[in-house]
């Protein structure tokens, strides 16, 4: 009996120790995913920030990125500790003959969390990025601070500035205005005439900044002052005619290769394709097996419509990191463009297991399904895409057209007409409008009951 009582007293202590180990293991990957800590800290300064992001941002303010890592780890570990504590109290209230089985179940659950945490830590460690210059435009922000005047920043640069260069924020438009101005050269010129800018800092992603970049590149008032792997900086005036491509030293070959690969994509965006190829080739030579470099290489090849090179780089990237969504996307796209539809459909299925809410993925799945003569899958992808489009208040016209065609292919006249009618409410060319009217007329002729 004494042995039984001794064992009973020890069991809660053992359970508590295993629960603490489980919580620690679950939080450990946070110390190897600095990019996520930085993202969370930047998001924490937004007006609609989540409570966790605000907590991480506050931690960053007190102790930098190491403190932000700790804060994220705590947000993962503490709920697990509380859960196991609550379950432990519940187990102690069970009848004695059930307590042993319940404690064993909790132990097995804790061991599972420990194993999963260890696996995620190893994976995160392999892909971790420690140098902040590979994550945010810190060098561009420092250069922007020297401009001595009002600086325009796009939304992603503003997010980084809130954390790393808050002194620039009062001079810049807010995020919503910045996004609108970036996509409208007319509005941007009006703002610049009203309150002139001395510099323009555009951080990745740059897709929404294409109209503004074209405007600045063609204007004699502006010069490209600096290009690095995180974006571009334009300054007003024509002096200091030096090479704008930044020269930065990195501690490891992997970091240097990642920087070159990122810079290659910026240079391609600027139309400097020869420089882009040279930097990407150097990145591949420096770190030939790094999945991030290989994925960027596949992206650049896809932009040049070099589909065989896209496929080869994406497949190599997936050998090193099989969970890369972008590499799977590029491989599926390459198969589609190379007319290997069965292989593209297979990759599309893999993509669907990763995400069901990425618009670019859904659009690619719809394209592949159409080529595979699979209207059911095409409609499913397009319906999801339509839902996302409405939430984001984007123009759904083209989606409605594709949906109408897919429903017509399946023989559902009512759904096809409904989507064609919705498409007619959008901004269409006369030729597009005429084509839709012809398609509607054909459907109505074949199914007169719908008149």
Give the CATH number for residue 374.
1.25.40
Residues 57 and 84 in one domain: yes
Mark which of 128, 146, 171 sits at the end of a domain: 128
Say if 57 falls within a structural domain. yes
User: Two tokens at 387?
Assistant: 């839902």
pLDDT digits (tens, 9 = 90+) for 273-332: 999 999 999 999 999 999 999 999 999 999 999 999 999 999 999 999 888 999 999 999
Residues 19 and 61 in one domain: yes
236 phi/psi in degrees, rounded to 5: -75, 135
- Please give the Cα distance from 74 to 59 (Å, whole number): 11
Q: What is the pLDDT of residue 47?
A: 76
Residues 36 and 92 in one domain: yes
Q: Report whether pLDDT(3) > 50.
A: no
Give the end-to-end CA distance of the chain in Å, rounded to a whole number.
Answer: 87
DSSP helix, strand, coil percent of the chain (3-state; round to 5) = 75, 5, 20
Q: What is the pLDDT of residue 449?
A: 60
Residues 111 and 21 in one domain: yes
224 phi/psi in degrees, rounded to 5: -80, 105
Residues 377 and 410 in one domain: no
Say if 298 falls within a structural domain. no
User: Two tokens at 439?
Assistant: 């398609």
pLDDT digits (tens, 9 = 90+) for 102-150: 888 888 899 999 999 999 888 888 778 888 899 999 999 988 888 778 8
Q: What is the pLDDT of residue 282?
A: 96
Say if 59 falls within a structural domain. yes
Measured over the CA atoms of residue 421, residue 426, residue 430 and residue 431, the dihedral's sign is negative
Say if 376 falls within a structural domain. yes
Where do runs of H (alpha helix) occur along 219-272? 253-269
Measured over the CA atoms of residue 235, residue 238, residue 244 and residue 246, the dihedral's sign is negative
Beta strands 222-228; 151-153: pairing state: unpaired
**Angle, to 10 degrees, between the axis of helix 397-410 and the axis of helix 359-371?**
30
237 phi/psi in degrees, rounded to 5: 110, 170
- Please give the Cα distance from 40 to 56 (Å, whole number): 6
pLDDT digits (tens, 9 = 90+) for 337-392: 999 999 999 999 899 888 778 889 999 999 999 999 998 899 999 999 999 988 88
Residues 27 and 123 in one domain: yes
Mark which of 194, 216, 236 sits at the end of a domain: 236
Give the range among 47-51, 53-57, 417-421 with minimum mean pLDDT. Answer: 47-51
Residues 22 and 110 in one domain: yes
Show the CA angle centred on residue 240, arms to residues 275 and 265, nearest 5°: 25
Total structural domains within the chain: 4
Residue 241 pLDDT class (50, 70, 90 cuts): low
pLDDT digits (tens, 9 = 90+) for 52-66: 999 999 999 899 989
- Please give the Cα distance from 85 to 79 (Å, whole number): 10
Beta carbons of 154 and 178 less than 8 angstroms apart: yes
Q: What is the pLDDT of residue 13?
A: 58
Using only C-alpha atoms, the chain has a radius of gyration, in whole angstroms, of 27
pTM: 0.82
- Please give the Cα distance from 260 to 262 (Å, whole number): 5
204 phi/psi in degrees, rounded to 5: -65, 145
- Please give the Cα distance from 19 to 291 (Å, whole number): 35
Residues 42 and 115 in one domain: yes
Beta carbons of 225 and 143 less than 8 angstroms apart: yes
Say if 294 falls within a structural domain. no
Q: What is the pLDDT of residue 77?
A: 94
Say if 254 falls within a structural domain. no
Higher pLDDT, 346 or 48: 346
- Please give the Cα distance from 377 to 178 (Å, whole number): 38
Q: If DSSP codes are grouped into helix, strand and coil, which group holds residue 426?
A: coil
Mark which of 356, 389, 422 sits at the end of a domain: 389
Q: How many residues does the chain have?
A: 451
Residues 448 and 354 in one domain: no
Q: If DSSP codes are grouped into helix, strand and coil, which group holds residue 270?
A: coil
What is the rounded average pLDDT of the residues 439-451? Answer: 74
User: Two tokens at 129?
Assistant: 């990025």
Residues 179 and 101 in one domain: no
Residue 27 pLDDT class (50, 70, 90 cuts): very high
- Please give the Cα distance from 425 to 437 (Å, whole number): 12
Say if 418 falls within a structural domain. yes
Say if 414 falls within a structural domain. yes
Q: What is the pLDDT of residue 343?
A: 96
Residues 173 and 225 in one domain: yes
Q: What is the pLDDT of residue 101?
A: 87
Q: What is the pLDDT of residue 146?
A: 82
Residues 344 and 372 in one domain: yes
Domain that holds residue 352: 305-389
Residue with tokens 């140098």: 131
Higher pLDDT, 239 or 236: 236
Please tell me the number of Cα atoms within 13 Å of 132 on its side-chain side: 16
Higher pLDDT, 59 or 15: 59
Please tell me the number of Cα atoms within 13 Å of 410 on its side-chain side: 19
């Amino acid at each position: 009996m004494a042995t039984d009582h001794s064992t009973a007293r020890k069991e809660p202590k053992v359970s508590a120790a295993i629960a603490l180990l489980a919580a620690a293991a679950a939080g450990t990957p946070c110390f190897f995913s600095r990019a996520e800590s930085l993202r969370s800290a930047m998001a924490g300064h937004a007006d609609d920030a989540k409570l966790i992001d605000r907590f991480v941002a506050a931690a960053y303010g007190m102790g930098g990125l190491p403190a932000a890592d700790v804060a994220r780890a705590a947000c993962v570990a503490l709920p697990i500790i509380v859960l196991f504590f609550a379950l432990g109290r519940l187990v102690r209230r069970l009848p004695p003959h059930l307590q042993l089985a319940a404690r064993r179940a909790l132990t097995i659950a804790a061991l599972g969390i420990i194993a999963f945490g260890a696996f995620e830590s190893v994976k995160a460690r392999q892909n971790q990025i420690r140098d902040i210059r590979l994550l945010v435009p810190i060098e561009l922000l420092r250069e922007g601070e020297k401009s001595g005047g009002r600086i325009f920043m796009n939304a992603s640069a503003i997010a980084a500035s809130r954390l790393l260069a808050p002194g620039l924020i009062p001079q810049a438009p807010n995020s919503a205005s910045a996004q609108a101005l970036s996509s409208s050269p007319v509005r941007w010129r009006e703002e610049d005439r009203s309150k002139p800018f001395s510099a323009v800092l555009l951080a990745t992603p740059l897709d929404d900044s294409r109209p503004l970049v074209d405007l600045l590149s063609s204007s004699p008032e502006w010069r490209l002052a600096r290009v690095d792997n995180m974006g571009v900086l334009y300054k007003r005036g024509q002096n200091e005619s030096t090479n704008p491509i930044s020269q930065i030293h990195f501690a490891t070959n992997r970091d240097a290769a990642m920087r070159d690969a990122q810079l290659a994509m910026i240079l391609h965006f600027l139309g400097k394709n020869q420089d882009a190829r040279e930097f990407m080739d150097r990145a591949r030579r420096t770190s030939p097996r790094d999945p991030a470099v290989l994925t960027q290489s596949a992206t650049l090849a896809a932009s040049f419509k070099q589909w065989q090179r896209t496929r080869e780089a994406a497949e190599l990237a997936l050998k090193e990191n099989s969970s890369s969504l972008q590499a799977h996307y590029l491989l599926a796209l390459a198969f589609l463009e190379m007319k290997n539809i069965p292989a593209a459909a297979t990759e599309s299925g893999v993509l669907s297991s990763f995400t069901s809410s990425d618009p670019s993925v859904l659009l690619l799945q719809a394209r592949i399904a159409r080529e595979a003569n699979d209207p059911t899958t095409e409609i499913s992808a397009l319906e999801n895409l339509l839902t996302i489009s409405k939430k984001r208040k984007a123009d759904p016209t083209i989606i409605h057209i594709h949906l109408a065609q897919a429903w017509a292919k399946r023989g559902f006249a009512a759904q096809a007409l409904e989507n064609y009618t919705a498409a007619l409410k959008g901004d269409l060319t006369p030729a597009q409008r005429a084509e839709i009217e012809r398609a509607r007329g054909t459907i109505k002729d074949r199914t007169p009951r719908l008149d």
